[in-house]
Structure 1
């Protein structure tokens, strides 16, 4: 007789009796209920006793354990209860943008040993930051900015060895920066941390030199608007990876800038204004990445015009006010190609001001008020924007030229930027609680203020800064499963902290209002920095407003204090019963006849494939092999560090050697993770049936033991992007570039015209083109690809995905995906190969820049691209062969309308034609053999970038943050 059903029934009844007798729901739900009881309101669907089974809004669980609380902009009021400690499996806590949350943080928060992210941005928490936060050994992301915290920065934060984001800005913190004193840790122990954001506090004392050392990984050091004093930190030049430095508005910071300061060759933003710095004006020679420099209002020694002033070709904004600089301004300064703003008032510049005719087309303001300029060389100058020369000898009472007024020549009354409404007809009248979106749809937007702490630009009259941001934000949110109708930006301005601040509105797609779950996800993307703006906008923070469903929240029920004696008695009795049942159960099991037990298969994301990690049950996938976990563990020597050849937020990539000797690259997602299953499956399904020398080969995959791995052919020479930037060490001259472009074109043409059914790649870009040992191009990364109909004609209406800068604008606007969308992306790639610049960089779009340069060219030399061409190519004594034809073809590919673009087979034919003009063979044997120059670098492996299947819709985003 099989006793199992009876035993299960008996256990079920007795366990329920135990729970009832104990009068408790136990575990997770009790802790969360107690937490909610400390708030005056809670989300409307927080009903029932089990938040995991009942799908409480903002709660993510693993089984019956709460792992994530995401409730930003929910209008919560109250305090944070010490009962938070009972949520022992909690990994993410985000209560941002709830201004009604106040009081001190409980010290018990230090008991959350699994916590990865603690995010409390824009609340009203006060008191000291608990030192117990230093016990959170796994913490990676700590953001407590924009609260009312006071007291010192806890030295215990120096124990957070895994921390990479630390933001304590905009509070009322006092004291100095804690450092290791031999016993207690300090911030100098945080060698892995990329971001120190401490601006807008009341911190004081000297900046300790120990906090800045060569072991630090810092890219952002923000100490502005504090009360630091003493000398400039002499060790700052050791932090060579620094990209943004803000020490402005400390007022008492003094001493000279150390000579090693120009070791910071990666520095892009430098803010030193409004201090008492002394000594010579800093020498910025060699700091060629600088685009924003503000050293105004210091006490540097009087000096002549520094030589470095004209050498930095990436400068957009130069602020050198009241610094005792003298001499005549060199004309070359105005010719820096991306220059937007010059603020040089209050110096001793003299002689003749000669702007010339070849000044930067972006130059919007030249402020030279209160200098010694005697002559303005108007002849030959076409400059018609803002020029201010008030207070110079040239501006005599008789001189009534516009530049002798404080308003200058330009339209000072131009209204602030506001996203335009694109209504094809008379716009509708919206209900009082709704707003008209840019696409003329009535809806309730999610509103807030976004502030960029160090943008690379200063010209707010250039609307492309904001249109690019709107488009990129909509695209990034869509890629993460949050569909937006549109994004609206209003009234951007530089606030008193020199942050670029603007109002932001996000409109829902296909409905009038976001749901509570939508806001949970939208708020988390912004507070957790999962949303990353385009490069050049710098670090940001967002302060969201309560969303309109705040009035739908329900009052929290406050737990009553009751006599605990019945509870204790019930637990005791119930426990005794349960123990007796367990003993009986064990006895029965021992007496029963042994039966073979089959191990339950671990659930896989591809159940419809019936993959069980054995070759006998694997479907025919056109050559893709199914590996077991044990096999891949063996060929990678147990995933050893010696075989670690790259990593990204998805996990790591390992070199492996198959038994036959074939080298492979094994891309292993984070252990146990099944994020991005759709993209993972897409890549397997598509790559397993495409076979071409210019498409990377998928050797196989593994979905065994909770693992998710792809196995590719090993491609040794990295990505095209790494070669263009010099990171891989592979040197690409013009002929090699032509061969690479031709190979990539053949790979894409194969997908369009010979795959069955035809495939649109949807993410053509330089980092998805790999180079083998003979520099043959191989198209890779098919996680976003889409098959078309059997004839390859027509289009597919689909959610917009891809990479900003390469994204087809027609696809973006219509959501209709065609093969011509890949053609557009390929055209951008061609221009990138020509310029070695990212498609979107410092607010400049390479397509627009090349079109303008070609249209405006005064001569046919280098097609008018002298300023845009990669210096490696421009250094050639003559124009690269076939250059003009190459540029013409690239511009055809990036035509606005898809119908005006060539097909990829036409592109291949054209490239083959002018490749021959350059004297380059088109076959595999025409490569430069294995003579690949690496210089002094080791080749960087191509699989070290982010996985295309890192974030799937509904998955909890990784908290990994890139430098920008």
Structure 2
């Protein structure tokens, strides 16, 4: 009887063991397939037991977790991942080399609870199959390159608590349920909606929010959302962070916001919200409030602010606030930062004696403050009153500290180490130790979390957190990554190891996990990057060869040494050749071919240093025509008699060799009558020089301010606008690849002998490569006053950024005023003054007086209309430069000008070099200090924000 029972049991357990063996074998095959698709051997992924491999966790001999954060994976995620049927956690974060689409087979992982792919390089659409992961609780796909719309199927994930799709290229509308189609409104257990930094468009659906939801974070900033904020948001009383800044939302702020009594962070800045200033009395948990740059009605500083006892940071820039600032504002006990710049506040600034002892910043720049009543006990507060009457009268701006226009905070912490120095590949820590820090970007989701003026406090908090998890961290260094901490909310973080040069891979993964922790109330997001590589041990091949030679006998030693010496000499020669090639990328450069393989119409000439010395009379003082941020500008005369302008870079302005070559290649690709021509360059003896055609009549700015003694007529200004527009249209639509200038302004528009416009200074220009599609994501650069607000807020550069700058230039042409003058922004002034029922749109007091005498301004209204179209807040609403060209051409035709003959005449004249220009004429152009500065503006790279 016992044998009858025992035998089936043995058979059962045998089958069970076979099944387990088959399952683990299958998992092993899948992991090997993944390793092959990732194009590299992962540490410790060897042997037949995957449960002992790095980053792999098993349960009951099945793979249930893969955690491979920040280990340099490259390649794609294979569809074989879908065969790991027991997997409940997949974390491949901070591997930028992981590219390609997310495979549809991801939907086969029915037991998956956490999918974390932060800071990788995934592209394509998020697959609909992701909606079949019914157990999923955390979905973090932020900081990739996903495109397309948000899959409505995500609404099926009823267990989801964390949804983070931020910092991608997602577009389309926010999906909500309809009939049998799911949507995000079904995610009643979700705590986090992080959808910022995308290209989402359309309205925020009112159905998205309901009283059934438990959301604490709604973060939709930096998208293309329009329409009003739905009243239904006020039903979600669990909210703590609400961020809609940097969109195009309009309408009134919902009255239901008064129900959001738990919200600590409310950011609605840079939208088109209108109506009366909202009353937020009920939101008494607010610590961070930003309503800046909206279109609310004119208002005094609202009295309801006195109810916000927890308020730490208040931002109300550019809101048409008037009157005086009430004393109660500064007495709020937790107040740290008050930013009310670019309003119409006047009278006397008096912070009183009962001010908050936590106050650090009061920014009232560009208002109408006439006096400042200082306390007898001067507080340690940064008071900023530049561009107020108190600072602009009687030269006080150069005397008082509060009249200086400096950064709000010092964005770089001072190093207090005495005589501290490290090798070039190491960094000095706050504790004065050299090491290889683990580096990345730390982004704050809830900016009220800490004191922005005191990063040391956060450094201490993070250090204690690492040490409590027994991580060998010596110190933490945080540096604000933007000059305006109230806009970027980003830090560069460096974590230094304790008593060792490097963190191990496992320690890095643990740090990455802690910083990017997806716990419910996590205030930060962490993206690793720029960490130093561990130094590889250098192989001493010569020593190895000698040992081998000794081993095979003394008779062979001489032959081995001779061979080794020859090999060593050969390698040294190759290394020298490579070093020379790297230091001088023009050594084997074929200027007839660019990186894109496009032949050039006219290749730039490579001048030797001796030639440039000769042409400038050894850089004589007589040929020095100006200086700027780039360096000095010299007049030179070639043997042909051609007069050229030579920009000689100073030491701190020099680029790397490859970057300089890239700029030359860019300049050599563009050939157009309305673009300044590059004649050649010099890259020799550590010199970087650019040789341009010489443009005799200076800059448009000089002409508008009468520095040349010639007034520009209305028709001539239209021609200048047309020439500039044609040059930009060529860069955008005919250059290969297309080029965005990024610094269009009157200083960079030059006028030839016939006052034809030529666009100059390509120092900030960017090419749009094929894989960039329609924009370039890049650090914001440009000149204040001309800077595209859409580019500034999204950091996505498009051709429409040049269109905005051109719109500012058009206003400059009709007003002859600087874009920002005495704290007033020309765009805002014109926009608020226009009255289309009046002659010249009622702009008589704004128009340049030189235009009002003499000829009639035919087509003026059309010109203003076109300028305002170019100045639309959203890039998609602006015309293209080719459309601008057609409009201006039509205006000139209405004046009776023959554009064909005009173009032909200017074309022939532009190709005649100024051989006939005599020395006295040149001396007249650059004879005094003011003219010298114009030469600086002609050819130098100007200061950029």
- The residue aligned with 2:346 is 350
**Greater RCO, 1 or 2 (C-alpha within 8 Å, sep 6+):** 1
Q: Distance in 2 between matches of 1:148 and 1:497?
A: 26
Q: Distance in 2 between matches of 1:447 and 1:531?
A: 25
SS at match of 1:203: strand
Report the Cα offset of residue 108 of structure 1.
0.6
- Identify if the C-alpha distance between structure 1 residues 221 and 539 changes in structure 2 by more than 3 Å, giving closer, same or farther: farther
Give yes or no for the alignment of 1:445 onto 2:437: yes
Q: Counterparts in 2 of 1:888-903, with a 5 A limit?
A: none
- Identify if the C-alpha distance between structure 1 residues 46 and 532 changes in structure 2 by more than 3 Å, giving closer, same or farther: farther
Report the Cα offset of residue 480 of structure 1.
3.1
Q: Distance in 1 between matches of 2:301 and 2:429?
A: 50
TM-score (norm 2): 0.52
- The residue aligned with 2:593 is none
- Identify if the C-alpha distance between structure 1 residues 161 and 135 changes in structure 2 by more than 3 Å, giving closer, same or farther: same
- Identify if the C-alpha distance between structure 1 residues 404 and 14 changes in structure 2 by more than 3 Å, giving closer, same or farther: closer
Report the Cα offset of residue 416 of structure 1.
1.5
Q: Counterparts in 2 of 1:878-893, with a 5 A limit?
A: none
Q: Distance in 1 between matches of 2:422 and 2:149?
A: 49
For the 8 Å contact 1:350–1:374, the answer to whether it is kept is: yes
Q: Distance in 1 between matches of 2:23 and 2:169?
A: 42
- The residue aligned with 1:41 is 40
Give yes or no for the alignment of 1:541 onto 2:529: no
- The residue aligned with 1:262 is 258
Q: Distance in 2 between matches of 1:129 and 1:168?
A: 10
Correspondent of 1:500 among 470, 484, 489: 489
For the 8 Å contact 1:453–1:498, the answer to whether it is kept is: no
- Identify if the C-alpha distance between structure 1 residues 171 and 459 changes in structure 2 by more than 3 Å, giving closer, same or farther: same
TM-score (norm 1): 0.51
- The residue aligned with 2:179 is 182
Structure 1: 5+ residue stretches without partners:
553-964
Residue deviations 1:231-272, cap 9 Å, x none? 22121211111111111110x210011222111111111111
Q: Counterparts in 2 of 1:842-881, with a 5 A limit?
A: none
- The residue aligned with 1:961 is none
Equivalent pairs, count: 536
Residue deviations 1:179-204, cap 9 Å, x none? 01021111111111111111100000
- The residue aligned with 2:362 is 366
- Identify if the C-alpha distance between structure 1 residues 237 and 265 changes in structure 2 by more than 3 Å, giving closer, same or farther: same
For the 8 Å contact 1:249–1:274, the answer to whether it is kept is: yes
- The residue aligned with 1:484 is 473
SS at match of 2:396: coil
- Identify if the C-alpha distance between structure 1 residues 2 and 236 changes in structure 2 by more than 3 Å, giving closer, same or farther: closer
Q: Distance in 1 between matches of 2:428 and 2:25?
A: 48
Correspondent of 1:329 among 304, 325, 349: 325
- Identify if the C-alpha distance between structure 1 residues 233 and 406 changes in structure 2 by more than 3 Å, giving closer, same or farther: farther
Q: Counterparts in 2 of 1:170-209, with a 5 A limit?
A: 170-209=167-206
Report the Cα offset of residue 544 of structure 1.
4.1
Give yes or no for the alignment of 1:277 onto 2:273: yes
Q: Counterparts in 2 of 1:822-837, with a 5 A limit?
A: none
Report the Cα offset of residue 530 of structure 1.
5.6
Report the Cα offset of residue 490 of structure 1.
3.5
Correspondent of 1:455 among 423, 433, 447: 447
- Identify if the C-alpha distance between structure 1 residues 65 and 546 changes in structure 2 by more than 3 Å, giving closer, same or farther: farther
Moved more, 184-193 or 229-238: 229-238
SS at match of 2:71: coil
Report the Cα offset of residue 549 of structure 1.
5.7
Give yes or no for the alignment of 1:124 onto 2:121: yes
Report the Cα offset of residue 230 of structure 1.
1.0
Q: Distance in 2 between matches of 1:178 and 1:12?
A: 50
Q: Distance in 2 between matches of 1:407 and 1:352?
A: 15
- Identify if the C-alpha distance between structure 1 residues 350 and 331 changes in structure 2 by more than 3 Å, giving closer, same or farther: same
- Identify if the C-alpha distance between structure 1 residues 419 and 460 changes in structure 2 by more than 3 Å, giving closer, same or farther: farther
- Identify if the C-alpha distance between structure 1 residues 456 and 433 changes in structure 2 by more than 3 Å, giving closer, same or farther: same
- Identify if the C-alpha distance between structure 1 residues 100 and 287 changes in structure 2 by more than 3 Å, giving closer, same or farther: same
- The residue aligned with 2:83 is 86
- The residue aligned with 2:105 is 108
Q: Distance in 1 between matches of 2:397 and 2:482?
A: 29
For the 8 Å contact 1:390–1:405, the answer to whether it is kept is: no
Give yes or no for the alignment of 1:516 onto 2:513: no
SS at match of 1:133: helix
For the 8 Å contact 1:213–1:235, the answer to whether it is kept is: yes
Q: Distance in 1 between matches of 2:433 and 2:368?
A: 56
- The residue aligned with 1:231 is 228
Report the Cα offset of residue 298 of structure 1.
0.7
- The residue aligned with 2:723 is none
- The residue aligned with 1:707 is none
Report the Cα offset of residue 448 of structure 1.
1.4
Report the Cα offset of residue 328 of structure 1.
2.0
- The residue aligned with 2:49 is 50
For the 8 Å contact 1:28–1:64, the answer to whether it is kept is: no
Q: Counterparts in 2 of 1:288-303, with a 5 A limit?
A: 288-303=284-299
- Identify if the C-alpha distance between structure 1 residues 438 and 298 changes in structure 2 by more than 3 Å, giving closer, same or farther: closer
Q: Distance in 2 between matches of 1:30 and 1:467?
A: 49
- Identify if the C-alpha distance between structure 1 residues 152 and 412 changes in structure 2 by more than 3 Å, giving closer, same or farther: closer
Q: Distance in 1 between matches of 2:261 and 2:453?
A: 30
Q: Distance in 2 between matches of 1:18 and 1:378?
A: 85
Report the Cα offset of residue 100 of structure 1.
0.6
For the 8 Å contact 1:152–1:174, the answer to whether it is kept is: yes
For the 8 Å contact 1:357–1:382, the answer to whether it is kept is: no
- Identify if the C-alpha distance between structure 1 residues 514 and 352 changes in structure 2 by more than 3 Å, giving closer, same or farther: closer
- Identify if the C-alpha distance between structure 1 residues 352 and 524 changes in structure 2 by more than 3 Å, giving closer, same or farther: closer
For the 8 Å contact 1:203–1:227, the answer to whether it is kept is: yes
Q: Distance in 2 between matches of 1:389 and 1:215?
A: 48
Superposition RMSD on alpha carbons, in Å? 3.7
For the 8 Å contact 1:74–1:550, the answer to whether it is kept is: no
For the 8 Å contact 2:131–2:154, the answer to whether it is kept is: yes
Report the Cα offset of residue 441 of structure 1.
4.8
Structure 2: 5+ residue stretches without partners:
538-945
Report the Cα offset of residue 366 of structure 1.
1.9
- Identify if the C-alpha distance between structure 1 residues 505 and 391 changes in structure 2 by more than 3 Å, giving closer, same or farther: closer
Report the Cα offset of residue 368 of structure 1.
2.2
Report the Cα offset of residue 114 of structure 1.
1.1
Residue deviations 1:615-648, cap 9 Å, x none? xxxxxxxxxxxxxxxxxxxxxxxxxxxxxxxxxx
Q: Distance in 1 between matches of 2:520 and 2:156?
A: 28
Q: Distance in 2 between matches of 1:7 and 1:420?
A: 78
Give yes or no for the alignment of 1:158 onto 2:155: yes
- The residue aligned with 2:63 is 66
Residue deviations 1:343-396, cap 9 Å, x none? 212323233322222322332222223333344334647346433334444445
For the 8 Å contact 2:121–2:145, the answer to whether it is kept is: yes
- Structure showing greater radius of gyration is 2
Instruction: Please identify which structure carries the higher helix content.
Output: 2
- Identify if the C-alpha distance between structure 1 residues 394 and 443 changes in structure 2 by more than 3 Å, giving closer, same or farther: closer
For the 8 Å contact 1:271–1:294, the answer to whether it is kept is: yes
- Identify if the C-alpha distance between structure 1 residues 14 and 223 changes in structure 2 by more than 3 Å, giving closer, same or farther: closer
Report the Cα offset of residue 442 of structure 1.
4.7
Correspondent of 2:396 among 390, 397, 400: 400
- Identify if the C-alpha distance between structure 1 residues 199 and 494 changes in structure 2 by more than 3 Å, giving closer, same or farther: farther
For the 8 Å contact 2:515–2:524, the answer to whether it is kept is: no
For the 8 Å contact 2:35–2:42, the answer to whether it is kept is: no
- The residue aligned with 1:702 is none
Residue deviations 1:24-79, cap 9 Å, x none? 97321111111111111132311112211xx2111111132111111111011000
- The residue aligned with 2:219 is 222
- The residue aligned with 1:525 is 514
SS at match of 2:511: helix
- Identify if the C-alpha distance between structure 1 residues 545 and 245 changes in structure 2 by more than 3 Å, giving closer, same or farther: same
Q: Distance in 2 between matches of 1:264 and 1:437?
A: 43
